[in-house]
A and B are shown apart, each in its own frame.
Chain A
């Protein structure tokens, strides 16, 4: 099916019809930023069976192969209906990188299992001593060989890992060399989290959810076939991944969800008649709508096989800040009822408070706003090193 050949209106109607008829209504506007796998599994499998689970992947690999404009419509319809975030790390992060850098064997092994939900991926980047300064990471992977074949032995500690509670796998960056620049000795590995020597611990967030975690690696054996891209060349693959990630994190979907919630609340409360409120929400609406254009531009580059480059950082900065401003406006206009810890607002949607919490990490994860600005300043604007 060539979805891109459909008119936007037909495609929208198609997605809307499917989501409205198939999405379990009990899960709409779910209170958790990312519900557990058992909660959303059936919906994941429904999308998977329909061939709609990977809207961004090329059709040849089992995706929908959507253009950026169609992808925005797809997201719009899901956000409009309050569909929660799925276990999508494999879909939006690892999948695109394997499609680009993976061996045929890796593609054959992993891509179908991402689509089927059999493998649920988490990301192992940050460490206690390597947050914004990611290249300082110390988790090590040393080569070894035995009867079972060539492998690496991983030791170290990863943290701030999302999706850890129900993840089966992790793609992780580990140091394979201490020679040269600190960026030069890093390799990207695919790790089965059932491998002996791995321990997980969940971390509770300020929203009260155990959605983050840390992972300890104690002499964990990883087959050499699980190296993605060149040995010691993981930094560029990782940066590539970060670029996908920044496009994904720069997608308008989170801010769109917040805007929909706020719109609905404003309608119920009659806020739209207040010109001061109308002005503020229109500004934010335009910040979001104008960002669509930038998003389409960068997605368009990807579709034609070009790497977007460091410029893409602006997308993440803009969309996450818009998301947060929307949540802050929501909290401001909700007054007292906004801060009731477990209340649902009049429309039965999420409270402003939850949206406030939910939007916080977006300016921190996958390269904080400040790191993105450092990158843009040096690599795009050509300003001197600080």
Chain B
């Protein structure tokens, strides 16, 4: 009922459909909710590393990398299709943070030996992570970077603090945004050089605050100057499209659970779903899920390898705004329509709700993305 196959021509292409089927087969064996529950609040990076392992086996890190760079060359919009399946299965797999964001960033940077080497490492299953954010989400801007690189002897000293770094705990190397002589610069840093403070999130996963005071070499610089921020913005847009896909999967699953419950739970001698008041509320949720689905389908189809930055930006913000609005609405109505059991920890519904809470907030909430869309539209860019 909520499949993206119907809404996206990209999803129907045979090689892409095969990729999605492979993800589904993997997820079938992986038992999302039980595993998600078990790993909740764990302070052990091993749970993240294990979850990443499944993704590596599926070859997802190479999926959207161009063939010339050793990847499968699928269009980048595919990340939202993969994410949708992961969301629907409540997979813990760190796809957006450890694959989509770092790989998209490396792909968007000008060719350089360091960039190529890191992209290859990602393809070989190394866990990478991007540490760029220092405060509440906003587009990357040069004057918002307090982390600095300064020359020290023959090397460079990296100093500063990054916050809300999703996926840092399992990573082995980080791509860090800093300034060097006032210019935005991206450097590659071993994760072990950061002092890490993990913060458990509502859904039991974590992000980290990373404090840097490390000596690096010139050769650790991946990119410097005016290319850095546009590349990062593009990567963040693709990641938000990916998150929107995940939110769609999560909300679809809540809707399925809720409809199942309405059909089976008997009160006042009839199934709850026979009450018109509840039927109409369920339809409202369905409508929001459908609008999300058709928008996502179009956004995915528009996100080709050479999609212009502004088009991707408009689609990404629209998709994130719509998907998080719809998901939050379906989440709270899902709890209400289940009644007491919906508020209990033993029932899986809450796991989905919490995942939605976290993903809706990460990399900008609906309000932020609506404002950005309005600004893009005023500037004459439409998606």
A residues sitting closer than 8 Å to B (CB atoms) are 278-279, 282-283, 285-286, 289-291, 293-294, 296-297, 311, 314, 317-318, 370, 373-374, 376-378, 380-386
Contact = CB atoms under 8 A, between A and B. Distances in A.
In this complex, the member of A278, A279, A294 whose beta carbon has the largest number of chain B beta carbons within 10 angstroms is: A294
Interface of A is mostly: helix
Given A282-B370, A383-B273, A314 B287 contact: yes
Nearest to B285: A381
A380 B374 contact: no
Interface of B: 1, 6-7, 259, 262-263, 270-271, 273-276, 279-280, 282-284, 286-287, 290-292, 294-295, 297-298, 318, 321-322, 367, 370-371, 373-374, 377
A256 to B, nearest CB: 13
A286 B298 CA distance: 14
9 contacts: A278-B371, A279-B370, A294-B295, A374-B279, A376-B283, A377-B280, A381-B279, A383-B273, A384-B273
The 4 closest A-B pairs by CB, nearest first: A377-B279, A383-B273, A293-B294, A294-B294
Contacts of A296: 294, 298
Given A374-B276, A380-B286, A318 B374 contact: no
Given A290-B322, A381-B259, A314 B286 contact: yes
A279 B286 CA distance: 24
Given A314-B287, A373-B280, A386-B279, A285 B273 contact: no
B368 to A, nearest CB: 11
A382 B259 contact: yes
A376 B370 contact: no
Contact of A290 (B259, B291, B367, B377): B291
A360 to B, nearest CB: 20
A384 to B, nearest CB: 5
B270 A282 contact: no
A318 B318 contact: no
In this complex, the member of A279, A381, A384 whose beta carbon has the largest number of chain B beta carbons within 10 angstroms is: A381
A283 B279 contact: no
Contacts of A297: 6-7, 294, 297
B228 to A, nearest CB: 30
Contacts of A376: 283, 286-287
B9 to A, nearest CB: 10
B265 to A, nearest CB: 11
B194 to A, nearest CB: 38
A381 B257 CA distance: 12
A291 B318 CA distance: 12
Contacts of B275: 386
B263 A293 contact: no
A207 B225 CA distance: 62
A202 B224 CA distance: 74
A282 B371 contact: yes
Given A374-B276, A386-B275, A318 B283 contact: no
B367 A279 contact: yes
A384 B270 CA distance: 9
Contacts of B370: 279, 282-283, 286
Contact of A383 (B279, B295, B321): B279
Contacts of B291: 290-291, 293-294, 314, 318
Given A282-B370, A386-B276, A377 B283 contact: yes
A370 B280 contact: yes
B286 A286 contact: no
Given A283-B370, A286-B321, 17 more contacts: A282-B370, A282-B371, A282-B374, A285-B374, A286-B370, A286-B373, A293-B297, A294-B290, A297-B294, A314-B291, A317-B287, A318-B287, A370-B280, A377-B282, A380-B1, A383-B273, A384-B263
A273 to B, nearest CB: 12
Given A297-B297, A370-B280, A384-B270, A278 B259 contact: no
A47 B61 CA distance: 54
A290 B274 contact: no
A276 to B, nearest CB: 12
Contacts of B298: 293, 296
A278 B374 contact: yes
A153 B361 CA distance: 65
A380 B2 CA distance: 11
Contacts of A383: 259, 262-263, 271, 273-274, 279, 282
Contacts of B321: 286
Contacts of B273: 377, 383-384
Given A293-B297, A317-B287, A318-B291, A384 B274 contact: yes
B373 A386 contact: no
Contacts of B286: 314, 376, 380-381
Contacts of A289: 318
Nearest to A383: B273
B382 to A, nearest CB: 8
Given A293-B294, A374-B276, A377-B280, A384 B322 contact: no
B317 to A, nearest CB: 9
A318 B318 CA distance: 17
A196 B259 CA distance: 53
B280 A286 contact: no
Contacts of B297: 293, 297
Contacts of B290: 294, 311, 314
A312 B276 CA distance: 20
A30 B115 CA distance: 61
B267 to A, nearest CB: 13
Contacts of A377: 273, 276, 279-280, 282-283
B163 to A, nearest CB: 26
Contact of B377 (A285, A294, A385): A285
Contact of B295 (A283, A285, A290): A290
Contact of B318 (A290, A370, A384): A290
